[in-house]
Amino acid sequence: MKKLITITLLIIGLCTAINITVASAKTEPSALSGTRVYIIREYNGRVACFEENAAKPFLTTDVRVHSLPYADQQLLSNGIYISGAKQLSRALEDYKT
């Protein structure tokens, strides 16, 4: 239970921090001017990371989507857009803790 609460709080913080990036990446990917765009979403029931426009993930975590709160499941079903490797690394660390 404690781990679930910790994960939930981290995800909420992550979603708040990337909210502007998500809107920008969805509407204007070219606005990122050369920065790679990654998408964190569900793949075979797990949290996975995709390069933009890729059909298969280059990284799949051990985190099962169904174990996350409903709001986070919804975010992942739409895809969480991340710009740059540094932000991607931070976001994935939040899911792994």
- pLDDT value for 22: 46
Provide the phi-psi class of 44: left if phi over 0, else alpha when psi is between -120 and 50, else beta. Answer: left
pLDDT category of residue 23 using cuts at 50, 70 and 90: very low
Domain limits at 89?
A: 2-96
Give the pLDDT confidence of 30-59 residue by residue, as tens digits: 444 568 999 999 999 999 999 989 999 999
**Mean pLDDT value across residues 12-38:** 53
- pLDDT value for 33: 52
Total count of domains within the chain: 1
In angstroms, the CA 82 to CA 39 distance is 6
In angstroms, the CA 74 to CA 21 distance is 17
In angstroms, the CA 52 to CA 68 distance is 24
